[in-house]
């Protein structure tokens, strides 16, 4: 089968023929129909996680496709099912077939085609788990989302609004039309205005970016406020001194969370937004598009 292979860290990946994998008893073999590009795929290919991974490896995290065979211990999906999911850091979805663990795959939202479905798993699971597991967000609370135009941030905004949360988001003006479509209570152009001056007091912060916005956010958090970041944590000591809860997070595979997200999408409560579709054999162009935000947000999906 054809797969996008990383042979050396930091060197361009390339399409190669490799053996089709076989599922173990707790695994599922999926024929991949579409696979979206996430920031983690760029981070992995650049070699930043080489202490945790070994080359050669196949790139790719998200997928949508059809179940071909299931291991003896798998009962929640069957051959022929249309599925979606994302796999942990080991990569593998930028390929004609991928073997995934039982928790990494669930029925695809039936209202979405494979291209749309492949754009959902990692971004939406991260948003879902950040809100529900890390922040434990509650109706009536005020939430600040940094990076609300991004793929994680825009799912977080939609989930939070459905939970009855008041949402303030930061984004750049190039994404204004998109962020206005998310039903936010308020958005702040972070390129023109300091969010500290506009956001007011918030119960919680969901930062889909890391670094300097983390300690800056402490100024707008209520006493005992909570913050989670999907990026690099900063200011942990200061948060503790101020009595705030501030943590990083790592998205986990979850059949239940994938199913809950699919239900919201099929109910028309949550929208997905693919900007670019690129044939698998032009994956380098897909990576270039993924990183070019000059005209606004991106979600790039490779088709197989
Ligand atoms: N921990 C985990 O388990 C996990 C899981 C998934 C993703 N992540 C990480 O989460 C981050 C977001 O992922 P994503 O897929 O949502 O990426 P994305 O689609 O590129 O979204 C990031 C967004 O943040 C915006 N942004 C950058 N700096 C900003 C600032 N100072 N203020 C407000 N917005 C700002 C970007 O705007 P521009 O277009 O203007 O740059 C972009 O819209 C990535 O770092 C990714 O690696 C972590």
Tokens 């790719």 belong to which residue? 60
Backbone angles phi, psi at 39, to 5 degrees: -55, -35
**Greatest extent of the chain over all pairs of C-alpha atoms, in Å:** 57
Over 90: is that where the pLDDT of 256 sits?
yes
Task: Please check whether residues 85 and 187 belong to one and the same domain.
Answer: no
Kindly state whether residue 255 falls inside one of the protein's structural domains: no
Kindly state whether residue 203 falls inside one of the protein's structural domains: yes
Q: Count of CB atoms within 10 A of residue 46's CB?
A: 13
Query: What number does the ligand 1 atom closest to the CA of 210 have?
Result: 45
**Rounded to the nearest whole angstrom, what is the distance from the C-alpha of residue 148 to the centroid of ligand 1?**
8
Pocket test for ligand 1, best of 208, 214, 217, 292 (most atoms within 8 A of CB): 208
3-state secondary structure of 221: strand
How many domains does one find in the chain? 2
From atom 40 of ligand 1, which residue's Cα is the shortest distance away? 172
- Helices and strands in the chain, H and E counts: 10, 16
Q: What number is the average pLDDT over the span 30-46?
A: 97
3-state secondary structure of 131: helix
Residue 119 CA to residue 107 CA, distance in Å, equals: 14
Over 90: is that where the pLDDT of 31 sits?
yes
Q: Count of CB atoms within 10 A of residue 142's CB?
A: 20
The 10s digit of each residue's pLDDT in 68-123 is 999 999 999 999 999 999 998 899 999 999 999 999 999 999 999 999 999 999 99
Choosing from 216, 232, 248, the residue where a domain stops is 248
Q: Is the peptide bond before 232 cis (omega within 30 degrees of 0)?
A: no
pLDDT at 74: 97
Q: What is the mean pLDDT of the chain?
A: 97
Task: Please check whether residues 151 and 197 belong to one and the same domain.
Answer: yes
Query: What number does the ligand 1 atom closest to the CA of 40 have?
Result: 47
Pocket test for ligand 1, best of 36, 37, 38, 39 (most atoms within 8 A of CB): 39
**Domain, as residue range, for 292:** 2-120+272-303
Kindly state whether residue 278 falls inside one of the protein's structural domains: yes
Check if the beta carbon of residue 169 is closer than 8 Å to that of residue 142: no
The 10s digit of each residue's pLDDT in 198-213 is 999 999 999 999 999 9
Q: What number is the average pLDDT over the span 204-232?
A: 97
DSSP-derived letter for residue 28 is E
Residue 137 CA to residue 163 CA, distance in Å, equals: 8
Over 90: is that where the pLDDT of 253 sits?
yes
pLDDT at 265: 98
Pocket test for ligand 1, best of 178, 230, 254 (most atoms within 8 A of CB): 230
Q: What number is the average pLDDT over the span 1-11?
A: 95
Residue 57 CA to residue 269 CA, distance in Å, equals: 37
Task: Please check whether residues 108 and 133 belong to one and the same domain.
Answer: no
pLDDT at 124: 98
Over 90: is that where the pLDDT of 173 sits?
yes
Query: What number does the ligand 1 atom closest to the CA of 296 have?
Result: 39
- Side-by-side strand order, sheet with 202-207: 186-189, 166-171, 142-146, 202-207, 221-229, 245-248
Query: What number does the ligand 1 atom closest to the CA of 152 have?
Result: 16
Kindly state whether residue 298 falls inside one of the protein's structural domains: yes
Tokens 């070994």 belong to which residue? 54
CA atoms within 13 A on the CB side of 179: 27
From atom 22 of ligand 1, which residue's Cα is the shortest distance away? 150
Kindly state whether residue 257 falls inside one of the protein's structural domains: no
Kind and range of the H or E run holding 15: strand 14-17
Kindly state whether residue 172 falls inside one of the protein's structural domains: yes
Kindly state whether residue 256 falls inside one of the protein's structural domains: no
Pocket test for ligand 1, best of 42, 152, 289 (most atoms within 8 A of CB): 152
Contact residues of ligand 1, CB 6 A cut-off? 38-40, 122-123, 126, 146-147, 149-153, 170-172, 190, 208-209, 213, 230-231, 249-251, 293, 297
Please, what is the angle between helix 121-129 and helix 151-162, to 10°? Answer: 50
Task: Please check whether residues 75 and 192 belong to one and the same domain.
Answer: no
Kindly state whether residue 98 falls inside one of the protein's structural domains: yes
Task: Please check whether residues 78 and 132 belong to one and the same domain.
Answer: no
pLDDT at 143: 98
pLDDT at 10: 85
């Amino acid at each position: 089968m054809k797969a996008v292979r990383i042979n050396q860290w930091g060197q361009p990946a390339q399409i190669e023929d490799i053996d089709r994998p076989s599922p173990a008893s707790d695994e599922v073999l999926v024929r991949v129909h579409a696979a979206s590009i996430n920031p983690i795929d760029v981070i992995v290919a650049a070699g930043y996680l080489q202490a945790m991974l070994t080359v050669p490896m196949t790139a790719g995290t998200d997928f949508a496709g059809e179940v071909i065979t299931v291991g003896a211990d798998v009962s929640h999906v069957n051959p022929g099912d249309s599925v979606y999911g994302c796999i942990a850091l080991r990569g593998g979805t930028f390929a004609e077939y991928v073997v995934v663990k039982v928790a990494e795959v669930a029925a695809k939202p039936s209202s979405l085609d494979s291209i749309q479905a492949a754009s959902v798993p990692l971004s939406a699971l991260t948003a879902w788990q950040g809100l529900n597991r890390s922040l434990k967000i509650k109706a009536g609370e005020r939430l600040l989302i940094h990076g609300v135009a991004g793929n994680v941030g825009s799912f977080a905004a939609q989930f939070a609004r459905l939970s009855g949360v008041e949402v303030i988001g930061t984004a750049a003006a190039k994404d204004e039309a998109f962020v206005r479509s998310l039903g936010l209570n308020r958005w702040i152009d972070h390129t023109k205005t300091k969010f500290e001056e506009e956001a007011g007091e918030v119960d919680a912060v969901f930062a889909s970016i890391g670094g300097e916005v983390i300690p800056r956010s402490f100024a707008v958090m209520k006493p005992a406020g909570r913050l989670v970041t999907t990026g690099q944590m900063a200011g942990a000591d200061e948060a503790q001194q101020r009595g705030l809860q501030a943590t990083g997070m790592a998205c986990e595979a979850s059949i239940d969370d994938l199913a809950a997200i699919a239900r919201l999408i099929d109910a028309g409560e949550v929208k997905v937004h693919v900007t670019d579709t690129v044939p698998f054999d032009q994956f380098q162009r897909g990576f270039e598009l993924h990183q070019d935000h000059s005209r606004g947000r991106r979600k790039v999906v490779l088709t197989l």
